Amino acid sequence: MKINTVCGKIDENDFGIILPHEHICCYFEPYLNMAGKHYLDKEKLLKASVGFLKEMKKKYSLDAIIDCTATNIGRDLELLKKVSEQSGVKIICSTGFYFTDEPMTTRHSSEYMESQILYDIDQHSIGSLKFAVEAEKMTDNNKHLLEVMCQVQKKTNLPLCLHTNPEVNNCIEVLEFVLDRKVAPGAITIGHCSDSEDMGYVSDILSSGCYVGFDRIYRMDDAQYYKKKADDIAELCRKGYQKKILLSHDALIFHGFRDKSVISQFCPFDVIFERLVPELYEKGLSKDMVSAMMSENPLNMLCLR
């Protein structure tokens, strides 16, 4: 099978280690229009991103990332393409929406939106669908947009990555909404489950056959944090779910959500390799299991297996 990347279609056999939920940048387009380089210097971002990814490729054999940036928070195809070409790391780009209820998304019909997204996928070699729900209960517009994403998923057979919020336990409501619209479980990732403390809740999600994202592994000084995350992953593996866990950082090189939106001066994608993986070995996971988790699992997710 061929995977859509920002540099065109690439055979699935050519993929190695994949980080399935990262961001080169999330930014607010109106600020860029207003302040230009004062807000975001794209040349500087390109240089920093290429430097990071080259280092990741050399140090940890990183082969690909899925950039999960939604179209309304600064998805930047041109930039991603340059980053991929210059770093040699494959980038799979997403289409879809963040949870913000913007007028331009509330007022358009499902048919109109669907046609825009299908055009995007076709013209821009998009490899992943993204949708975010943050609130405890889905808003009417969340439902309107997610319905569109479900129809697009069934027409394109691209994987659907869902940002959910375990702090308000909305994962199962979102999962059920998507399953009710006959999206295959193998096409669904319930993202940000690593923010949950309750592995019973995460197991309930996994029992549907979908993937779960352990995709917010944060940069922390606290050694206990990595031990706890490794414990949670080991528990899910003991229950037989090791093929459905996706490991990633949800890191950004340009973090437009923060007040001081600066281009990171440190490598934001490395704590899984540096800190989590050694803890997984401590918990008794074999090298083969961990390596499969970081290459086969995200590839199978991309191929809807």
Enumerate binding residues for Zn ion (CB under 5 A): 68, 250
- Taking the complex as a whole, how short is the minimal distance between the CB of residue 168 and Zn ion, in angstroms? 17
Give one DSSP letter per residue of 245-267, joined into a string: EEE----EEEETTSSS--B-SS-
Residue 149 near residue 161 (C-beta atoms within 8 A): no
Residue 49 near residue 37 (C-beta atoms within 8 A): no
- Taking the complex as a whole, how short is the minimal distance between the CB of residue 40 and Zn ion, in angstroms? 18
Residues 6+ apart with CB under 8 A from 243: 292, 296, 297, 300
**Residue number, 131 or 241, with CB nearest to Zn ion:** 131
- Taking the complex as a whole, how short is the minimal distance between the CB of residue 14 and Zn ion, in angstroms? 25
Residue 182: Cβ within 10 Å count = 9
Token pair belonging to 2 = 């061929």
- Taking the complex as a whole, how short is the minimal distance between the CB of residue 250 and Zn ion, in angstroms? 4
**Residue number, 68 or 80, with CB nearest to Zn ion:** 68
The neighbouring-strand residues paired with 64 are 18, 90
Angle at 158 between CA 289 and CA 65, to 5 degrees: 50
**Residue number, 4 or 164, with CB nearest to Zn ion:** 164
Residue 174 near residue 133 (C-beta atoms within 8 A): yes
**Residue number, 65 or 68, with CB nearest to Zn ion:** 68
Give residue number: closest CB to Zn ion: 250
Encoded amino acid at 137, one letter: K
- Taking the complex as a whole, how short is the minimal distance between the CB of residue 61 and Zn ion, in angstroms? 23
- Taking the complex as a whole, how short is the minimal distance between the CB of residue 45 and Zn ion, in angstroms? 17
**Residue number, 63 or 250, with CB nearest to Zn ion:** 250
The Cα 215–Cα 148 span in angstroms is 24
The Cα 15–Cα 206 span in angstroms is 25
**Residue number, 237 or 245, with CB nearest to Zn ion:** 245
